[in-house]
A and B are shown apart, each in its own frame.
Chain A
């Protein structure tokens, strides 16, 4: 089944990129060009203190990168299984119908549009993709990590004072405190990592290390590794846009450093607000339903019965 799904996804990806000759810029790269030009001409309003550009505000990606950061055609579901003629939505998501479908996207990976995985990492990605609903940390409401948090389908807010920069994400209230001009190294690995920032002209450059490898890059199983370093570049390109570029490197997972880039859009007026999305509460039935005193009929009860039978067999 995995092979079928991989072939299907590969074909879908090739379909989206088939007009690109080898070595030519991908659709994502071409789309980036106007933004870069605009950035050169645009002078952003200054933040408190009057020196640096003002990044304050509520920002949000308007792309489908959160489904898949590589180019992808629309498909019926995040997790597919073999059907009698073509792959069909996995049983776990079939009830969602069109709501569970994946919209197409040109991707945000720069260059040839492909993540340069090592063969082993690519196999892991494909395995993740085949079981995305079961394995995606976002489904379980785990903290999303970096860079994933920046292009989710929910907004985030940047708080910038004279001497502090702080990111607050709607998803689970994830946060990052950007240590400015610091040489402090990560003391521990963490879900959202350790962010150290400095200004290069009007661009905020943030080096993120100490990231737990458990987080994914999107809902399609794309991964990072235990030594992943993300170098982010945040540049305002208009009153309403913020360019996000990131270089991702990890020799254990990728054959070379690679880049992503996308535009973030500023929410204004009554939309300039992040809401509460404490999804821990929303996944309790998923995570703990089988542990209820009386598990509800369906997957929770089936899991409880299956695990009880396993315990009985093993004599526990």
Chain B
């Protein structure tokens, strides 16, 4: 994916503190309110970064780091990444059609969010909590089997991500159109239903459809939660989405 750059941030909130780290193509910044309510319920984790990059880059000046912020340390002196984190956000990898630029103002964000798919689903389903038999029969009359996920099960956050103080409409920052520049030959259609091997990995429950644990880690409709357990030899990055784990051995320490 030569030429593609992403800057990802998120709404990652921790029990303990916000986290800012640097990976080669990733910038992370501070965040304000926690989706999970009271202070320090969940941590705010960066996206698209690898834990090894966390560990190696953390001692270097980290882009987007709050002025004067010092990461807490583990017992063996590494930056402490451990805990529960989330990257839920309305920001997605490719810029949505309604957005014309990478960064927007709060007013523009508000307007865009009115047209956001999750907002529209929310509106569509307003009042649908009437569970009378008559209402259920009416709802199911069209035999639409694609109702596996209604808004109740979605957990996509309520705002675009803030990256370095900017409100971002996509994770992709380069190319300037905010979209992954696929080669035509790399595009695949999934119109073949002849057998499981022809279906996308997420449909086969082999990977999360958000790419969960990555790389590149990404957010989606729900399950945007992560757990990091850090030991002197390894960093475990566990993604709630399809319970995927990555074990990152720590092979060098540049501090």
Q: Which A residues contact B (CB, under 8 angstroms)?
A: 48-50, 56, 157, 159-166, 168, 173-175, 177, 274, 278, 280-281, 284, 288, 292-294
Contact A161 B204 (CB under 8 A): no
Sample of 17 further A-B pairs with CB below 8 A, known A161-B231, A284-B197: A48-B74, A48-B75, A48-B232, A56-B234, A160-B229, A164-B229, A165-B229, A166-B227, A168-B247, A173-B244, A175-B245, A280-B204, A284-B195, A284-B196, A284-B204, A292-B195, A293-B194
Contact B82 A163 (CB under 8 A): yes
- The reply on B236 being an interface residue by CB < 8 A is yes
Provide the residues of chain A in CB contact with B227, threshold 8 Å: 164, 166, 177
Identify which of residues 215-255 in chain B touch chain A, using a CB-to-CB cut-off of 8 Å. Answer: 227, 229-234, 236, 238, 243-245, 247
Provide the residues of chain A in CB contact with B236, threshold 8 Å: 159, 166, 168
- The reply on B149 being an interface residue by CB < 8 A is no
Provide the residues of chain A in CB contact with B197, threshold 8 Å: 284
Q: Which B residues contact A (CB, under 8 angstroms)?
A: 74-76, 82-83, 193-197, 204-206, 227, 229-234, 236, 238, 243-245, 247
Give how many A-B residue pairs fall within 8 Å (CB-CB).
68
Give Cα A135 to B229, complex, Å: 35
The smallest beta-carbon distance between B85 and chain A, in angstroms, is: 13
Contact B206 A294 (CB under 8 A): no
Considering the complex, give the chain B residue whose CB is closest to the CB of A281: B206
Considering the complex, give the chain B residue whose CB is closest to the CB of A49: B75
Contact A173 B245 (CB under 8 A): yes
Provide the residues of chain A in CB contact with B231, threshold 8 Å: 48, 56, 159-161
Query: B206 contacts which of A50, A168, A175, A280 (Cβ < 8 Å)?
Result: A280
Give Cα A177 to B238, complex, Å: 10
Query: A294 contacts which of B75, B82, B194, B244 (Cβ < 8 Å)?
Result: B194
Give Cα A284 to B196, complex, Å: 7
Considering the complex, give the chain B residue whose CB is closest to the CB of A293: B194
What are 5 A-B contacts defined by CB distance under 8 Å? A157-B234, A160-B229, A162-B74, A274-B247, A292-B195
Give Cα A159 to B234, complex, Å: 8
Contact A48 B76 (CB under 8 A): yes
The 7 A-B pairs at the shortest CB distance, nearest first, are namely: A293-B194, A159-B229, A284-B196, A292-B195, A166-B229, A48-B75, A159-B236
